[in-house]
Amino acid sequence: MGNIAFINGIVIPMDGRKRYSAVLASDVTPLDALLGIHAAVNQPYPENSVTPYEAVRMYTSDGARCGWEDGFKGKLIPGMQADMVVLEADPMTVDPRTIKDIKVLGTVRKGELVYDKGIGH
């Protein structure tokens, strides 16, 4: 497998820097990034948990890096492709046990608001 190890659906580049990429491809779990972030933060064994910041990175910049797409996606900076969501609360600051309950208020894809729960004009 070259410079990658696959462990329980998490991709870890073996370049000496710790990165994890969440996988949203399953026939048995919902395709729900917030639920995945919640699960990564609230593991049954605390030593296996990550911080909310690390969990969000799994779905953004580290996910792009693990897919060799970090040259053009994974960050909200000029010149990068970026889809984004508007959330009702900040997963970095809420009680970690409530991350799964955060509502998505809107989704922007390729610069267009494609899901709107009240944020549009």
- Tell me the per-residue pLDDT of 42-61, one tens digit each, with 9 for 90 and over: 988 888 888 999 888 888 87
Distance CA 80, CA 6 (A): 27
Contacts of 72 (CB under 8 A, 6+ apart): 80, 81
| Tens-digit pLDDT profile for residues 98-111 | 999 999 999 888 88
Residue 75 pLDDT more than 90? no
What's residue 46's pLDDT? 84
Distances (CA, A) of 66 to 44, 51, 61: 25, 19, 9
pTM for this prediction: 0.74
Q: Locate the domains of the chain by residue range.
A: 4-116
Least confident stretch, 32-46, 53-67, 85-99: 53-67
What's residue 111's pLDDT? 82
For 98, phi then psi, to 5°, come to -110, 5
Token representation of residue 51: 């911080």
What's residue 94's pLDDT? 97
